[in-house]
Chain A
């Protein structure tokens, strides 16, 4: 049997590519079951208003209309949308989050009615004819303004608009009292719009005979959607079938269960026809969750030799008008623990206030809390370096947690599993020839040219996560990984996973894991995901958990299959189990080369099941729910080199180098792709992206004309390299890599630009670094 037995670590071409390249992907919007009718939501243009009256008379006269529905029509059928992460010890307030507004609208884009018609075009015609009377109320969009006395109040349940007050870390004053220098800075980590290329969509169908609701939805986590829909609609979980087919990017914005799919489901049940809803991009910009939006006050204490002692962070997190699914945990749990970064700081204290404002709800967006944290850390380190007149490389080296100290318990209480921060930094500096760059910079400065070098050495927390830990923080679910590995009688493999990749390549990488464990070619292994009826209960794909946690589960299931196959092989070969070896997909008996069985033989034998060893059940099939013992902590060093046009403030990225360590790499090609994409998204935040509201709470950046995401012209080339420091607790030593690029790159870019502007005494510029902001910093305007 000639086959490549080394699958792990190989740059195997992706199995998912053919269908996408040929235009044969199945995205939700591509599907139109027979009898489909189309839903469109009537959305409030006001950010805060009393809902006075809805008049559908004109709308109902349009040929092709089926109905116009408001909250009253769904009373008793559609409940409120719950948050799934009510963080503990934070005095959290969870005001009702209605699916359709009843008396009050609290953000521009909130739905007040839904129309249904025979075609998409007619649905839009109908929607535009629904007349809604609003009584505008005062609006507040900024979180600092929202907690001031006299600010408009959004929810009776949340006085002064405070959703929660969360903190970690003890008293840091003793540490700060020892400091020779304290650096202080205010940061704005601006609100972003995730902008996955596929707008959200849902198709709901109800079978009145079997009483089953089937929902196709653009989700990163179909089982979570099923659970939440069950709670919102009052339908038992097992009667809801959720299918997330091909999904065109998510980046966190397709984690939440939104009101829209709940309403569409209720409509399907009421109308007895499939109901399809597809978002326009403009709708996506207001109705799909936003990301980030922190205002942070940070203090860093250090000794004059550069030893960092401690950090204090006060963050004000804008939650939007309602608490979305994962929202409260993002600016708290996923943020607060990481403010020490790669450094052996002695103490840290983080206080986070979550605040309601009249804006679109904010939830996880690529990085989810960690970019907000690592941006602070790496900017403060550069500010400290400037203050102490130290090279930023030396300052980092001095404070890194040493490579021989892992697993390492950080001041904030977590234990980093493995790390070698020195290693990635050394490699990155070598690739860019750092010393030569600094020499060039010295020359450039003499000539009045602005050149900057920015570093970002990061560590992040992902592979969500150990269930006991996450549940203790208030997350309403364990974050174990699930898989079934099943061999058919002819020895082909199907891997059923509770993850739902939407671009990350697990149809290939999970096949690689199993290929390595079982010696079966990758081409004979298919990965099934996204369907609650065929896959085990699963927690989906986000938080860079799919490879370490779900992949870990796959490895364990494959090993269970192999162990069972070994038992059967030993029995069939009449040998003791200890004497049976497994290599390249074949079981053989030590010392007896002719006595062998391939795993394919065993699959057939397990199907016949006529000669099984006692106590062993038929069929090679194993399921694992893998609860990781810890998170995983990938890390790396990025270097960004920029040239700044003094006259215009335009920044050109001359070079961007990323050296990352995600432990064992299943497929280096896929790893690189994740880094590229992640880095460019982080650069998007640093260079050009920003959600902008006017004082009335209207989102001004509601399309791709105004919300600027990088095109091939703005995105620089990204060079990548890596080190490999496996995670000691993961079954295959892997860590996540899906978000590291975004977590590292914004600060690398800002550090570079600030470095370029050092001759002008510029210390900080808030993102996005538009040319105008840079120009103003240069010219002191």
Chain B
């Protein structure tokens, strides 16, 4: 972890080191670079999306040290030393993660723009709550806006994923 006890030099750039989807990346970035821009522009992982500018829509959700966060409401420098999972890091060896598989089987996506964010939010929910009720699912994804699905099949997908992950399949 790089230390920043002195103010950054005049060009406003700092060095950050993040682990993203298991791979360590060290870069020099402007301090004002949002984590989402670091992920998209520096690392060219464009699966994390930007849908708004007031931290409401959740399309930019990633897992930071296992917790879901809106990567548009963090600076990359704040995440220095952290371990991040983006949507690209969920599938392992080409196999869909159970949450991804459940979304596919239950038509939990239409245009796909909100999907990475809601899949990661659901992944965190299921890590915390093994068998969430419908109400708990709806609360768990309440930070992710979707304009296409009306949430019905997203809720079904998360419930199906819970079952899959608890050995129901």
Contacts and interface: CB of A to CB of B under 8 A. Distances in A.
A and B touch in their complex, CB below 8 angstroms: yes
B113 A197 contact: yes
B49 A248 contact: yes
A710 B151 CA distance: 10
Given A21-B96, A121-B30, A703 B53 contact: yes
A676 B149 CA distance: 6
A30 B150 contact: no
Interface in B116-154: 116, 119, 134, 137-139, 141-154
Contacts of A18: 96, 104
Interface residues on A, range: 35 or more
Contact of B145 (A13, A503, A703, A709): A709
Main DSSP-derived SS at the A contact region: loop
Contact of B147 (A22, A709, A712, A717): A709
Given A23-B87, A198-B111, A673-B110, A712 B51 contact: no
A196 B147 contact: yes
Contacts of B103: 17, 21
B10 to A, nearest CB: 13
B21 to A, nearest CB: 10
Contacts of A678: 150
A54 B104 CA distance: 52
A677 B56 contact: no
Contacts of B30: 121
B32 interface: yes
A677 B148 contact: yes
A196 B114 CA distance: 10
A713 B138 contact: yes
A281 interface: yes
Contact of A704 (B90, B142, B145): B145
Q: How large is the interface on B (under 10, 10 to 19, 20 to 34, 35 or more residues)?
A: 35 or more
B38 to A, nearest CB: 12
A65 interface: no
B111 A503 contact: yes
Interface stretch (B1-9, B40-48, B63-71, B73-81): B40-48
Given A25-B47, A712-B138, A717-B134, A20 B112 contact: yes
Contacts of A121: 30, 32
A242 to B, nearest CB: 19
Contacts of B87: 21-23
Interface string A701-730: 001110001111101011000000000000
B162 interface: no
B50 interface: yes
A502 B148 CA distance: 10
Interface in B49-105: 49-54, 56-57, 59, 86-88, 90-91, 96, 100, 103-105
Contacts of B138: 712-713
A632 to B, nearest CB: 21
A23 B100 CA distance: 11
A249 interface: yes
Contacts of A198: 49, 51, 111, 113
Interface of A: 13-14, 16-25, 27, 29-30, 32, 121, 195-199, 246-249, 251, 280-282, 502-505, 669-670, 672-673, 676-681, 703-705, 709-713, 715, 717-718, 741
Given A121-B32, A249-B147, A197 B57 contact: yes
Contacts of A13: 104-105, 107
A672 B48 contact: no
Contacts of A195: 147
B112 A248 contact: yes
A530 B1 CA distance: 45
A34 B114 CA distance: 27
A9 to B, nearest CB: 16
A19 B94 CA distance: 12
A349 B107 CA distance: 43
Contact of B46 (A30, A673, A710): A30
B155 interface: yes
B113 A281 contact: no
A503 B153 CA distance: 14
A21 B100 contact: yes
Contacts of B107: 13-14, 669-670, 672-673
Contact of B141 (A17, A248, A712): A712
Contacts of A27: 46, 49, 113
Contact of A21 (B109, B139, B151): B109
Given A121-B30, A248-B111, 13 more contacts: A16-B112, A23-B87, A27-B113, A32-B41, A121-B32, A197-B111, A197-B114, A197-B147, A248-B49, A251-B147, A505-B110, A673-B149, A677-B147
Contact of A712 (B40, B49, B105, B151): B151
B35 to A, nearest CB: 14
Contacts of A672: 107, 153
Given A14-B104, A197-B59, A704-B52, A676 B112 contact: no
Pick from B49, B57, B116 the residue with the most CB of A within 10 Å. Answer: B49
Contacts of B134: 717
Nearest to A705: B54
Contacts of B144: 711-712
A17 B52 CA distance: 23
Contacts of B146: 197, 712
